[in-house]
Structure 1
Amino acid sequence: MNTENNKRAAQAPADVTVVSIGRLHDDAGGAWADVLERATIALDLRAHFRDPHVRADLRHLTAHDQAVRDAVMTTPGVREVLAATALQIQGYLAGPTAAPITVVTQCAGGRHRAATTALALHAVVSGDIESATAYGLADAAEAFTGRALTVDLVHRDLDKDVVTR
């Protein structure tokens, strides 16, 4: 068992883990290679929401950059999908069996849409009203305030090279 897996085994799993991935990196292996098989909720953003990668000025940027976050979050429908996902998470948390929830956001390269929406969902589920407001999701975050959930955020592919396509 490698060191990363030892650390994981030593600590209790998060109540909710939000993972962003780029589907063009699915063959890369690693601790999160099978995350779609473990997902409670999987959001595939590839076909329905415009890809910032097609814009030359955004291609080499990531969700760390405000211009990318703005481009993703102003895409019609994105906020509605994230608010609905927050409702799904609430439903799973209300269920009679306490089990960790894994939410996977996915796009092509993992640097723009998936990473931005994962950041937004993390803010919402953490009940971080201030951060959620920056994503236009303050109302969704209010339902999570005071819940004391452990919420992890993992970006599997955010720091990988831009995929040539």
Structure 2
Amino acid sequence: MTGSAAPADKTTPADVTIVSIGRLHDEDGGEWADVLQRATIALDLREHFRDPHAISADLRHLTAHHQVVRDTVMDTPGVRQVLAATALQIQGYLAGPKAAPITVVTQCAGGRHRAATTAMALRAVTAGDIEEAAAYGLADAAKEFADRDLVVHLVHRDLDKDVIDR
């Protein structure tokens, strides 16, 4: 693994925390219920990027744990550009006088497809994991983080929750 970040266990304070959420689960409470109020950067993927299960009903009950879902999300026009721009934003915040901690929230409707996939991709980038980021088409963005040794935590608030009927 090239340029990987320090191990991100719960006891090590994070430089960057990336949280994926499904907005239809906002009322569920829990540790991350108020994450949008704590976010340094919030990406709302609901309106601009089509839900993968709307593209193919076969994807409805799958999640970002499945390669076909990750491929579908990452092949959506504009997604890679938004994530590369978000990586630049993270760099900007890290360069500031109070660099960390930074919380990035990726959000979609259910939290199982777009938000989770983009959070996984951003984790690879900010961890400087060039090999993993390449799988998302973001190797160049990850190179900028390769020697930073950032502690990056990834949290999927809603990834394993049931599909919401809508």
Q: State the TM-score, normalized to the length of structure 2.
A: 0.92
Distance (Å, rounded) in 2 between the aligned partners of 1:25 and 1:51? 16
Distance (Å, rounded) in 1 between the aligned partners of 2:99 and 2:84? 22
Distance (Å, rounded) in 2 between the aligned partners of 1:64 and 1:156? 14
- Displacement after TM superposition at 1:144 (Å): 0.1
Q: What amino acid is aligned across from residue 99 of structure 1 in structure 2?
A: A
Distance (Å, rounded) in 2 between the aligned partners of 1:90 and 1:98? 9
Residue deviations 1:28-70 (CA, integer Å, cap 9, x gap): 0000000000000000000000101222110000000000001
Q: Is 1:57 equivalent to 2:68 in the alignment? A: no
Q: What amino acid is aligned across from residue 24 of structure 2 in structure 1?
A: L
Q: What amino acid is aligned across from residue 45 of structure 1 in structure 2?
A: L
Name the structure 1 match of 2:102.
Answer: 101
Name the structure 1 match of 2:142.
Answer: 141
Question: Aligned residue pairs: how many?
Answer: 157
Distance (Å, rounded) in 2 between the aligned partners of 1:51 and 1:35? 22
Aligned-partner SS, 1:19: strand
Q: Is 1:35 equivalent to 2:35 in the alignment? A: yes
Distance (Å, rounded) in 1 between the aligned partners of 2:12 and 2:137? 31
- Displacement after TM superposition at 1:123 (Å): 0.2
Residue deviations 1:64-94 (CA, integer Å, cap 9, x gap): 0000001000000000000000000000000
Distance (Å, rounded) in 2 between the aligned partners of 1:51 and 1:72? 8
Distance (Å, rounded) in 2 between the aligned partners of 1:82 and 1:128? 15
Report 1 or 2 for greater relative contact order, CA contacts < 8 Å, sequence distance ≥ 6: 2
Q: What amino acid is aligned across from residue 39 of structure 1 in structure 2?
A: A
Q: Is 1:90 equivalent to 2:130 in the alignment? A: no
CA contact (8 A) 2:12 2:151 kept: no
Runs of 4+ in 1 over 2 A off after TM superposition: none
Name the structure 1 match of 2:73.
Answer: 72
- Displacement after TM superposition at 1:118 (Å): 0.2
- Consecutive unaligned residues of structure 1, counting only runs of 5 or more, are 1-6
Name the structure 1 match of 2:115.
Answer: 114
- Displacement after TM superposition at 1:98 (Å): 3.1
Aligned-partner SS, 1:57: helix
Distance (Å, rounded) in 1 between the aligned partners of 2:36 and 2:97? 24
Name the structure 2 match of 1:14.
Answer: 14
Distance (Å, rounded) in 2 between the aligned partners of 1:118 and 1:12? 19
Aligned-partner SS, 1:139: helix
